[in-house]
């Protein structure tokens, strides 16, 4: 029995709890129904009041513009290098870095005309959307202020752009200086070629003179050989006469022998001189032939050097000039890409006011009033019940 009573007790408690909840919900509904006109009327009055107030509020228009950071150069991978990041520029604008300068430039009174900008980076794009809000009669001034803002930070970044362009001009000037040095080198090569060709002509003239020298040596050699032959024959005759004199018994033999001996000695001495001259002629002949060979080889070497200089001048140096010109063209292209802040979308006024948002104000006022009057209805009902008790 006790078990059955214990099992029935939770069911009874659950039923009582459900019944109490149902009674409470009905009580709530009764209160709402009782005070329905207060709730509905109050909510309508608040909504109408909000509508009237919103109609009397000044219309606010939005001035918007879209800008892009300027390009400062080209990276090694071919991508653009910007003078500043879009996020950093947006942060400066939103942080009011340029506001004071804009006010001073346009001579605006900060107490009467407040300059304030909002900026956001466009998603998936390197663009910045800059906006500001102005009352209906000040929209034109807002456009003017926005344009002045663009001029202000364009002037700041313009200095960076000028420095970057100056760097490129310096690099281009250095490349042009290299071309000038190469052209000067080409002129020096022309002078070297001219000097070497002059040297070749002089050597060829020397070579042309060598056959005549060799011919003179040959003629002189023939003359010397004839003289040597004559001296030799004359000496042999004198020797024969001396020998014959030795065999005879001439009383003047001693004197004659002395004369013959002296003549023979003179002939021998002259014979030796002629042989020495003949040897000298052979040496001169060999030297002349060697000089011809040396000059011919020297001429070939100089002509080879001239050919190399011509190849170096016409092909090697010209290739270097062409390569430098390509580099100069690339630098000029990169310099042409350098730019200041770009205005993608000029400042313009929105077609419709962005404030006040009448529907949102009325809706919000209605919702707040509804909750407020529902709370007021329950509060009044609570006070009444408390006073009755």
pLDDT at 2: 47
Structure tokens at 241: 């006469």
pLDDT at 49: 85
Domain coordinates in residue numbering, the chain: 13-55+359-388, 58-171+342-353, 176-336
pLDDT at 4: 44
pLDDT at 251: 54
Q: Other C-beta atoms within 10 Å of 72: how many? A: 21
pLDDT at 144: 92
Three-state SS across the chain? CHHHHHHHHHHHHHHHHHHHHHHHHHHHHHHHHHCHHHHHHHHHHHHHHHHHHHHHCCCEEEEEEEEECCEEEECCCCCEEECCCHHHHHHHHHCCCCHHHHHHHHCCCCCCCCCCCEEEECCCCCCEEEEEEEEHHHHHHHHHHHHHHHHHHHHHHHHHHHHHHHHHHHHHHHHHHHHHHHHHHHHHHHHHHHHHHHHHHHHHHHHHHHHHHHHHHHHHHHHHHHHHHHHHHHHHHHHHHHHHHHHCCCCCHHHHHHHHHHHHHHHHHHHHHHHHHHHHHHHHHHHHHHHHHHHHHHHHHHHHHHHHHHHHHHHHHHHHHHHHHHHHHHHHHHHHHCCCCEEEEEEEECCCCCECCHHHHHHHHHHHHHHHHHHHHHHHHHHHHHHHC
Q: Which CATH number applies to 176-336: 1.20.1050.10, 2.60.34.10, 3.40.50.620, 1.10.287.1490? A: 1.10.287.1490
pLDDT in tens, the chain (389 residues): 444 444 444 454 444 444 444 447 787 788 778 888 888 888 888 888 888 887 777 888 889 999 999 888 887 777 888 888 889 999 988 888 888 888 888 888 887 888 889 999 998 888 999 998 888 888 888 899 999 999 998 888 888 889 889 999 999 999 999 999 988 888 888 888 899 889 888 888 888 877 888 888 888 888 888 888 888 888 888 787 777 767 765 555 667 767 777 887 887 888 888 888 888 888 888 888 888 888 889 888 988 888 888 888 788 888 888 999 999 999 898 888 888 889 888 999 888 887 777 788 788 888 898 888 888 888 888 888 777 65
Taking a C-beta distance cutoff of 8 angstroms, is the pair 224, 276 a contact? no
pLDDT at 5: 44
pLDDT at 3: 47
User: pTM above the 0.75 mark?
Assistant: no
pLDDT at 249: 58
Phi/psi for 50 (5° steps) reads -65, -40
Q: Other C-beta atoms within 10 Å of 328: how many? A: 18
pLDDT at 114: 82
The CB-side HSE value for 366 (13 A sphere, CA atoms) comes to 11
- C-alpha 82 chain-centroid distance: 13
What is the spatial distance between Cα 315 and Cα 311, in angstroms, rounded to a whole number? 5
């Amino acid at each position: 029995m006790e078990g059955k009573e214990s099992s029935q007790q939770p069911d009874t408690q659950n039923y009582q709890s459900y019944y109490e909840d149902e009674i409470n919900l009905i009580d709530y509904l009764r209160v709402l129904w009782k005070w329905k006109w207060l709730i509905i009327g109050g909510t309508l009055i608040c909504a109408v009041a909000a509508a009237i107030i919103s109609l009397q509020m000044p219309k606010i228009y939005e001035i918007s513009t879209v800008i892009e950071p300027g390009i400062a150069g080209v990276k090694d991978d071919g991508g653009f290098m910007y003078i500043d990041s879009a996020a950093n520029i947006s942060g400066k604008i939103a942080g009011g870095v340029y506001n004071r300068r804009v006010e001073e430039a346009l001579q605006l009174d900060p107490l009467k005309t407040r300059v304030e900008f909002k900026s956001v980076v466009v998603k998936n794009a390197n663009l910045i959307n800059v906006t500001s809000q102005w009352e209906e009669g000040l929209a034109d001034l807002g456009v003017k202020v926005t344009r002045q803002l663009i001029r202000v930070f364009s002037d700041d970044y313009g200095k960076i752009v000028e420095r970057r362009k100056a760097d490129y001009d310096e690099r281009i000037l250095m490349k042009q200086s290299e071309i000038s040095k190469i052209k000067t080198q080409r002129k020096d090569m022309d002078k070297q070629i001219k000097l070497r060709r002059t040297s070749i002509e002089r050597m060829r003239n020397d070579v042309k003179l060598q056959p005549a020298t060799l011919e003179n040596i040959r003629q002189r050699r023939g003359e010397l050989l004839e003289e040597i032959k004559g001296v030799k024959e004359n000496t042999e005759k004198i020797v024969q006469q001396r020998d014959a004199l030795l065999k005879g018994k001439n009383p003047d033999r001693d004197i004659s022998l002395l004369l013959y001996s002296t003549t023979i000695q003179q002939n021998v001495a002259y014979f030796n001189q002629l042989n020495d001259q003949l040897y000298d002629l052979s040496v001169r002949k060999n030297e002349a032939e060697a000089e011809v060979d040396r000059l011919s080889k020297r001429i070939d070497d100089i002509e080879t050097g001239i050919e190399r200089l011509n190849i170096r001048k016409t092909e090697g140096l010209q290739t270097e000039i062409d390569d430098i010109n390509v580099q100069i063209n690339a630098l000029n292209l990169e310099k042409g890409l350098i730019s200041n802040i770009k205005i993608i979308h000029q400042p313009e006024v929105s077609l419709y006011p962005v404030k006040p948002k009448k529907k949102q104000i009325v809706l919000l006022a209605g919702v707040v009033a509804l909750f407020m009057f529902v709370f007021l209805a329950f509060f009044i009902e609570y006070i009444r019940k408390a006073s009755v008790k």
